[in-house]
Amino acid sequence: MFGMMFWLKRISYDGEEFVDPVPLTLEQIFQSLPPLGHGGSVELEPLLVGHAKHLIRHPEKILLDEALKEPGPNKARVHITPGEELGIWHLLHEREIVEWIKLDAVYSDGGGPYLSGMFGVPKAGRCTSAGNPLLRVIMNLKPINRALEIIRGDISELPMATMWGQLILEEDETIYCSQADTR
């Protein structure tokens, strides 16, 4: 059993899983990122209509008043193995997951600029050729989320499982359901 790494799962009072952040390495994230030209980031604005599109074009309209902001730090920790920082940032930029911007372009208030964090979580049962766990890159957006009103869009219009309870099909009728998820 020597050489194997185990991660214990912990559950919060709300039933959410706690995952300890793992420092990122190039070897551990390279295979788990979308390949060049696939995924990475998707332009959101063309997918929106109406009020949601207006708010994406004018993010200053969703900034919360200071009194409504949840207390907390404006900066989250970035967990990267020392010496791997520049390589990881270049890889994330190449895959269009992050982009370089000047610090003075970052939203800031009296507590300083709002800076997101980043860490890795192991992909169950997947390892690198060296035997280290593959890591899924997780962006911690809590700092900026504290400062913005949630754009709800049409989420309340989406069907929920409880709506299917009253569904009645005739003998010659068929219903098809599907879903998709990435590995």
Residues 45 and 147: their CA atoms lie apart, in Å, by 21
Instruction: Name the phi and psi angles at 16, rounded to 5.
Output: -85, 140
> For the whole model, what pTM was predicted?
0.72
pLDDT in the model for residue 1: 40
- Model confidence over 36-58: pLDDT tens digits? 887 777 788 998 888 889 998 99
Ordered per-residue pLDDT tens for the chain, 183 residues: 444 555 556 776 777 777 788 999 999 999 999 888 877 777 889 988 888 899 989 999 999 998 999 899 999 999 999 999 999 999 999 998 899 999 999 999 999 999 999 999 998 889 999 999 999 999 999 999 999 998 877 667 777 777 767 778 889 998 877 665 544
pLDDT in the model for residue 9: 64
pLDDT in the model for residue 146: 92
- Model confidence over 11-39: pLDDT tens digits? 767 777 777 889 999 999 999 998 888 77
Strands 108-109 and 112-113: antiparallel
Tell me 91's DSSP state: H
Q: What angle do CA 33, 38, 40 make, to 5 degrees?
A: 55
Place of tokens 């793992």: 22
Neighbours of 113 (CB within 10 A): 15
Contact between 154 and 50 under an 8 Å Cβ cutoff? The reply is no
pLDDT in the model for residue 2: 45
Residues 6 and 117: their CA atoms lie apart, in Å, by 24
Task: State whether residue 11 is helix, strand or coil.
Answer: strand
Residues 119 and 23: their CA atoms lie apart, in Å, by 6
Non-local CB neighbours of 130 within 8 Å, separated by 6+ positions: 27
